[in-house]
Structure 1
Amino acid sequence: MHLEAERDGGRIANAIIIPMIVVVLLGVVGAFGLLLWSAELSNTSSQQSKIQLISNTLSVLRTENARRQQETAVSDLMLDEINRRPLDTPWLLDRLGAWNNERNGFHRSLVIGPDLSTLLEYDADGIEHFATPHLRDQISGSVARVRARFITQLRKGGGAFAAPDYVSGYNTRFIFDTGFAEMGGEVYLYSAAPFMPSSNPQLVTSRIPPVLISFRRIDAAMQDLLQRLGRLQELRLTLRRSADEGYSALPIRSVAGREIAYLEWPADAPGTAFLRRLTPILLILLLAIIGLTVGVVDFARQNTRRLSRSKAQALYNSRHDSLSGLPNREHFFEKLSNALEHQTAMTGDTAVIYLDLDHFKKINDTMGHASGDEVIRSVAQRVDSALPGRAVLARISGDEFAMFVPGCAGRAKVEDILKRIQAALARPITVGNTELFASFSIGIAMSPEDGRDPGDLMRKADIALYDAKAAGRACWSFFAPSMQEDLLLRDRLSRELRQAILENQLSIVYQPQSCRDGATVVGVEALARWDHPELGSISPARFIPLAEETGLINALGLWILRRACKDACGWENLIVSVNVSPTQFKAPGFVCDVMKVLAETGLPPARLELEVTESVLLSNEATTLAAMHRLQGEGIKIALDDFGAGYSSLSYLRRFSFNSLKIDRDFLSAVTDSTEAQAVLKTIISLGKALGMDVVGEGVEDADQLAFLARNGCDRMQGYFISQPLPLDALNEFLADRDMERVCRQAAHALPAPGRSSRIA
Structure 2
Amino acid sequence: MVVSSESRIGGRTLRAPLMVTLVLIVFAAVVAGGTVLILTAISNMAFHANSLDTQRAQQTASGALASFEQQIASATSDYSAWDDAAKAVYVDRDRDWIEKNYGVFTGAGTLFDTYFMVTPGGDTTMAYKDGAPFSARFDTYFGPSFDALRAGLVSDMARGVYQKTGFVETPDGLAVVGIAAVRSSQGALTVAKDKVTFVILARHLSDAVVNQLAHNYIIDGLRLVPNVPSDRPFAAMRNSKGDILGAFVWDLREPGTRSYRQVLPMVGWGIAVIGFVLLGLLASGSVIVRRLMADERAARKLSKQDQLSGLLNRSGLNDALDEIEAQAARSHRDAVLIYLDLDRFKDVNDAYGHSVGDQLIRGVTAGLKHLLPQDAAFARIGGDEFAIAIVCKDTQSCCAALEQAVIAFFKEPFIIGGRLASVGASMGIAVSSQGTLGSAELLRRADMAMYRAKATRSGRAVFYQPSMDEDREARVNMANDLRLALDKDALTVVYQPIFDAHTRMMCGVEALVRWNRAGQGFVAPDIFIPIAEDNGLIGRIGEFVMRHALTEAAKWPRISVAINISPLQLHDASFVGSAAAIIDACGFPADRVILELTEGFFVRNPDRAKHSMAQLQRNGFRIALDDFGSGFSSVGYLREFGFDRLKIDRSLVHALGKTEKAGDLLKATVALASSFDIPVTAEGIETLAQADYVSECGCDELQGFFFSRPVSGEEISRMLADTGWTASVA
| Structure 1 residue 521: Cα displacement | 0.6
Residue 532 (structure 1) aligns with: 517
| Structure 1 residue 571: Cα displacement | 1.0
Residue 494 (structure 1) aligns with: 479
Is 1:659 aligned to 2:644, yes or no? yes
Is 1:416 aligned to 2:416, yes or no? no
Change (3 A) 1:356 1:671: closer
Please say if residues 356 and 416 of structure 2, whose CA atoms lie closer than 8 Å, have aligned partners that are also in contact.
no
Residue 602 (structure 1) aligns with: 587
Is 1:480 aligned to 2:465, yes or no? yes
Q: Measure, in 1, the Cα distance between the counterparts of 2:561 and 2:499.
A: 12
Q: Measure, in 1, the Cα distance between the counterparts of 2:358 and 2:14.
A: 49
Letter matched to residue 488 of structure 2: E
Please say if residues 585 and 616 of structure 1, whose CA atoms lie closer than 8 Å, have aligned partners that are also in contact.
no
User: Which of 479-488 and 615-624 deviates more?
Assistant: 615-624
Instruction: Give the secondary-structure state (helix, strand or coil) at the position aligned to 1:641.
Output: strand
Residue 639 (structure 1) aligns with: 624
Residue 735 (structure 1) aligns with: 720
Letter matched to residue 679 of structure 2: D
Aligned equivalent of 1:333, options 322, 342, 345: 322
TM-score for both structures, normalised by structure 1: 0.50
Q: Measure, in 2, the Cα distance between the counterparts of 1:596 and 1:456.
A: 45
Change (3 A) 1:574 1:386: same
| Structure 1 residue 466: Cα displacement | 2.2
Change (3 A) 1:480 1:744: closer
User: Which of 579-588 and 419-428 deviates more?
Assistant: 419-428
Unaligned runs of 5+ in 1: 17-299, 746-761
Residue 551 (structure 1) aligns with: 536
Please say if residues 319 and 331 of structure 1, whose CA atoms lie closer than 8 Å, have aligned partners that are also in contact.
no
The 5-angstrom pairing of residues 228-307 of structure 1 reads none
Deviations 1:514-564 (A, max 9, x none): 112574111000111111113322111112222233333233222222222
User: Which of 594-603 and 623-632 deviates more?
Assistant: 623-632
| Structure 1 residue 315: Cα displacement | 14
The 5-angstrom pairing of residues 207-606 of structure 1 reads 324=310, 326=312, 327-340=316-329, 342-343=331-332, 351-356=336-341, 383-393=368-378, 402-407=387-392, 409=394, 411=396, 413-421=398-406, 441-446=426-431, 456-471=441-456, 476-517=461-502, 519-606=504-591
RMSD: 5.1
Deviations 1:356-385 (A, max 9, x none): 567999999999999999998886665444
| Structure 1 residue 7: Cα displacement | 12
Residue 679 (structure 1) aligns with: 664
Change (3 A) 1:598 1:474: farther
Q: Measure, in 1, the Cα distance between the counterparts of 2:13 and 2:351.
A: 58
| Structure 1 residue 325: Cα displacement | 6.2
Deviations 1:251-291 (A, max 9, x none): xxxxxxxxxxxxxxxxxxxxxxxxxxxxxxxxxxxxxxxxx
Q: Measure, in 2, the Cα distance between the counterparts of 1:676 and 1:317.
A: 61
Is 1:612 aligned to 2:597, yes or no? yes
Please say if residues 355 and 443 of structure 1, whose CA atoms lie closer than 8 Å, have aligned partners that are also in contact.
yes
Q: Measure, in 1, the Cα distance between the counterparts of 2:327 and 2:694.
A: 70
Q: Measure, in 1, the Cα distance between the counterparts of 2:610 and 2:419.
A: 30
| Structure 1 residue 618: Cα displacement | 1.8
| Structure 1 residue 464: Cα displacement | 0.7
Instruction: Give the secondary-structure state (helix, strand or coil) at the position aligned to 1:679.
Output: helix
Instruction: Give the secondary-structure state (helix, strand or coil) at the position aligned to 1:551.
Output: coil
Instruction: Give the secondary-structure state (helix, strand or coil) at the position aligned to 2:446.
Output: helix
Change (3 A) 1:5 1:366: farther
| Structure 1 residue 729: Cα displacement | 2.3
Letter matched to residue 333 of structure 1: D
Aligned equivalent of 1:668, options 653, 665, 671: 653
| Structure 1 residue 452: Cα displacement | 6.2
Q: Measure, in 2, the Cα distance between the counterparts of 1:675 and 1:439.
A: 35
| Structure 1 residue 644: Cα displacement | 0.8
Change (3 A) 1:608 1:337: same
Deviations 1:437-472 (A, max 9, x none): 986542113465999666655443232122123235
Deviations 1:118-141 (A, max 9, x none): xxxxxxxxxxxxxxxxxxxxxxxx
Letter matched to residue 329 of structure 1: N
Change (3 A) 1:428 1:548: farther
Deviations 1:95-118 (A, max 9, x none): xxxxxxxxxxxxxxxxxxxxxxxx
Please say if residues 338 and 387 of structure 2, whose CA atoms lie closer than 8 Å, have aligned partners that are also in contact.
yes
| Structure 1 residue 342: Cα displacement | 3.2
Change (3 A) 1:497 1:429: farther
Deviations 1:631-673 (A, max 9, x none): 3344322111111111111121122221211111111112234
Letter matched to residue 731 of structure 1: I
Instruction: Give the secondary-structure state (helix, strand or coil) at the position aligned to 2:672.
Output: helix
Q: Measure, in 2, the Cα distance between the counterparts of 1:681 and 1:670.
A: 9
Please say if residues 337 and 454 of structure 1, whose CA atoms lie closer than 8 Å, have aligned partners that are also in contact.
no
| Structure 1 residue 329: Cα displacement | 1.4
TM-score for both structures, normalised by structure 2: 0.52
Letter matched to residue 580 of structure 1: I
Is 1:649 aligned to 2:638, yes or no? no
Letter matched to residue 651 of structure 1: G
Please say if residues 444 and 477 of structure 1, whose CA atoms lie closer than 8 Å, have aligned partners that are also in contact.
yes
Instruction: Give the secondary-structure state (helix, strand or coil) at the position aligned to 1:693.
Output: coil
Change (3 A) 1:377 1:486: same
| Structure 1 residue 485: Cα displacement | 1.8
Q: Measure, in 2, the Cα distance between the counterparts of 1:360 and 1:673.
A: 35
Residue 256 (structure 1) aligns with: none
Please say if residues 311 and 378 of structure 2, whose CA atoms lie closer than 8 Å, have aligned partners that are also in contact.
no
Please say if residues 336 and 404 of structure 1, whose CA atoms lie closer than 8 Å, have aligned partners that are also in contact.
no
Residue 709 (structure 1) aligns with: 694
Residue 205 (structure 2) aligns with: none
